[in-house]
Amino acid sequence: MPEKEQKKPEKETKPAEPEKKKAPVGRAENVVFIGRKPPMSYVLAIMTSFSNSNIKEVTLKARGRSITTAVDTAEIARRRFVKDSKVSKITIGTEEIAREEGGTRNVSTIEIVIAKA
């Protein structure tokens, strides 16, 4: 039996390179929004932000009951994991949020900036 000739592709194609994950539109890479997860989840996000890029500071943002988690997260990250960092700026404020039944209510906010030396 004669062997069949196999055609070679004219151009060799390289496998597509995986795209780098980008921050969602409107969100910066160095901002961590604090919510209901345990503080260690956010500490991991801080460490990842510092290690993956040339970012020198990370901002933690929280409001309402999540403010205590934000403070805990900042202290855990600073004391245990990123020893050469410091809290460089703390901003507190109030946001007005519209209620479903009408009117507004005030919610406390905090932004904590952790800077790596």
Calpha distance 38→34 (Å, rounded): 9
Selecting from 3.90.1150.10, 3.40.1710.10, 3.30.110.20, 2.60.120.10, what CATH number does the domain 31-116 have?
Answer: 3.30.110.20
CA proximity to 111, closest of 79, 84, 83, 88: 88
- For the chain, percent of residues with pLDDT exceeding 90: 62
Give the per-residue pLDDT at 59: 96
Question: 13 pLDDT exceeds 70?
Answer: no
Amino acid at 19: E
Q: Is residue 113 a contact partner of residue 58, using CB atoms and an 8 Å limit? A: yes
Paired with 60 in beta bridges are 32, 112
In this structure, the number of other CB atoms found within 10 A of the CB of residue 117 comes to 9
Give the pLDDT mean for 34-61.
Answer: 92
Question: 54 pLDDT exceeds 70?
Answer: yes
Calpha distance 42→82 (Å, rounded): 13
Question: 18 pLDDT exceeds 70?
Answer: no
Give the per-residue pLDDT at 7: 62
Give the pLDDT mean for 38-67.
Answer: 92
Domain map of the chain by residue range? 31-116
If one compares 8 and 90, the residue with the highest pLDDT of the two is 90
